[in-house]
Structure 1
């Protein structure tokens, strides 16, 4: 099987997964009547705005109601509310796919808008600043230390990192966040308690950027402390298991330099599973850290998902579920491409 055919089949599989997720989500929405509520709310909002604009020009109440009813019927037909929900499945799936879900019922952007796509994209930047940065830091430090520890098994660093990994994995992230707030925000007053920036925010763009970084220190530190141990231990285990394989021992027996053995025989074989952890970790980070963003009042996608569930804003929950699935599917396809490059055996 050639490279192009292999990648095409993998892409087709992942696209099928994405379509099935969207179809299942739309099926549930239609069967439970949630989609009808969402579309009806969109119709009612447009009718209300139309009433406000026409009230200034049409003074006759009966004529006003007649015009509004005609427009309302047109909107009902446009959104498919005159048809059963199962007939509207393709149109509903397309709306989810293109994020054309109208306006959120309760949640808004910082500027006061309530368009779903605007709300999501606004919070995405904040999540990248916080969660993705923490993931990158944890991954880099974890990979460097994990590889180093794997070549010095049984040393002090190995024992310390093993204990630290177990402890950091067991402690809840929100508890670490609260401790950091108590120590560095309440007692030492070195960092703010939470939020994205100070109130009022600095007017100068450069100072505002520094203010955001200052507010991000504690939540980023929380996520790094909670996850770096897992990165270290996972990398150590992968590299150590690879280093104990027969082909590595055979390379050493042939008298090859240790650096060459490590680079060509150990790290090249260990690269695919390590890459899997890195890319899936970055993809998962887009969904945000719900508890950490809530503890620090950080307006990212995790906090948005929490707020949307809390106030029952269905359209925002749907949009976020779709985006999280889409990012995961794209990450998996990227992994497939990298696997083919790193290990040509997967092509056949």
Structure 2
């Protein structure tokens, strides 16, 4: 059987939209006669995700591609020699692995070697990383902004093509779920709820959102902030909310499977990216659920959100984010129209089925 290996370079802590994308990709590849192997840095945490992977016939391999370069080289060499993959597809692998994997793959006779770039590299001129990228047959940035940065860094234009990811399944906000989640997180029914789905990393900017919320806290007594995806046991953000005196109106859902479902509790989605974002799947989820969006003007955010149409765009500072959120709060009559515009834009740009079909048809076969 023909084989595809994805070097994810990931630690997967939930069953989210990226995991769902992998599952649909695995199924479509199976229909084309390919078996899929997924490399992870650690075993995925979600048992539901692991169960679905087992049903799909995919195999999971666990070994690190970060850390000790020599160990990484041996791991990748052993893996590719054993699997003899027809297609190698990398994702979040580190710099050393990004260079080593295509070299080994070529030595092993791999037919197609693909690098998907999920985050925006901060290239201002030609960068030494171009030598690694240019070893691939295809380099697929997940947004046009990432594509532009890679071009600046010296990646060859003829191997570079922006490729949007997408979502699967109907995503609809319901009154029942709105009541259910608000009750679960002790949020009053009449409150205006801001929501953000993101893990805690500097480039995600969730700390900016927490500080922006403090600016609004005393002016708007009926607003609440619901955070989904932050590891409350490891993150300092809950402590920051306490220090700022706003913890009574901030709710931490933690890391949960299918976190998009909590969007039913919200009125406004906020994406506070500080830097490096490719194009967050959470923005797509909010668009699919017809939520108006406030986001920062970072990378792919502005490809998803049309300022004034399906959301508001601002600079990544607490002052600017607070001002944009307040502007949205004070315009409740625009929320429905913006939500409808976002849904239309989502259907046009981020259909998961089309994304997977294009990926396989243009770059795998």
What range is the shorter-chain TM-score in? Answer: under 0.3
Higher relative contact order (CA 8 A, sep 6+): 1
Please tell me whether Structure 1 or Structure 2 has the larger radius of gyration of its CA atoms.
1
Q: TM-score, normalised by structure 2?
A: 0.21
Q: Which has the higher helix share?
A: 1
Q: TM-score, normalised by structure 1?
A: 0.21
Q: Which has the higher strand share?
A: 2
